[in-house]
């Protein structure tokens, strides 16, 4: 799922569509909310490495991996036992996206690159909206794979 989200995000970015939802963050947050901080950290690290390697990549290799791993860890701390309401999930993903955008802004400022706040806010809104559709699909896919594994 991370690979599909990463490749789809890069493909849509190449078409200059804006604002783009952060599909990798939605998948990382979904895994973190379902399985806790350890799974969130691991999924975030893998998703960040994927984005570091996919074009255009990162200026410094590993920065996306660290940002996504921290986001996955923190989102995993917000996991609730049982079935969480969709409103809670979308709120947590929006807050995680705000944190990710803040981290990206700090990295950009450290490199002397200008930061577009309107674009960042648009990405947060698009990511929260995409979470409404993607999180139930990821949840269904995880449940389906668990049923097939134990069948």
- For residue range 56-85, what is the model confidence (pLDDT) as tens digits? 888 788 999 999 999 999 999 998 888 888
pLDDT tens by residue, 80-129: 888 888 899 999 999 999 999 999 999 999 989 999 999 999 999 999 99
Burial of residue 84, with CB atoms counted within 10 A of its CB: 0-12 exposed, 13-18 middle, 19 or more buried: middle
Q: Are 72 and 40 in contact (CB under 8 A)?
A: yes
Question: What pLDDT score was predicted for residue 151?
Answer: 64
Question: What pLDDT score was predicted for residue 140?
Answer: 85
What 3-state class would DSSP assign to 72? helix
Q: What is the C-alpha separation between 9 and 66, in angstroms, rounded?
A: 19
- Average pLDDT score over residue span 34-39: 92
Q: Tell me the pTM.
A: 0.91
- Output DSSP code: residue 47: H
Q: Are 66 and 24 in contact (CB under 8 A)?
A: no
CA atoms within 13 A on the CB side of 37: 5
Question: What pLDDT score was predicted for residue 141?
Answer: 83
At 21, the pLDDT band (50, 70, 90 cuts) reads very high
Which helix or strand (DSSP H or E) is residue 144 part of? helix 117-150
Question: What pLDDT score was predicted for residue 80?
Answer: 85
**Least confident window among 26-30, 117-121, 136-140:** 136-140
Question: What pLDDT score was predicted for residue 138?
Answer: 82
Token pair for residue 107?
Answer: 């990295």
- Output DSSP code: residue 21: P
Helices (H) and strands (E) in the chain, counts: 6, 0
Q: Which residues are CB-neighbours of 58 under 8 A, at least 6 positions away?
A: 51, 52, 64
Question: What pLDDT score was predicted for residue 82?
Answer: 82
């Amino acid at each position: 799922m991370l690979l599909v989200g990463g490749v789809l995000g890069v493909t849509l970015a190449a078409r200059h569509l804006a604002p783009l939802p952060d599909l990798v963050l939605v998948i990382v947050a979904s895994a973190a909310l379902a399985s806790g901080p350890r799974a969130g950290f691991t999924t975030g690290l893998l998703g960040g490495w994927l984005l570091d390697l996919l074009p255009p990549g990162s200026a410094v290799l590993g920065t996306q991996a660290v940002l996504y791993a921290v986001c996955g860890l923190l989102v995993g701390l917000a996991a609730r036992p049982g079935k969480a309401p969709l409103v809670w999930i979308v709120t947590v993903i929006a807050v995680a996206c705000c944190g990710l955008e803040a981290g990206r802004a700090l990295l950009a400022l450290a490199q002397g690159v200008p930061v577009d706040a309107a674009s960042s806010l648009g990405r947060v809104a698009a990511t929260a909206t995409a979470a409404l559709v993607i999180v139930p699909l990821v949840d269904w896919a995880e449940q389906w794979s668990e049923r097939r594994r134990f069948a």
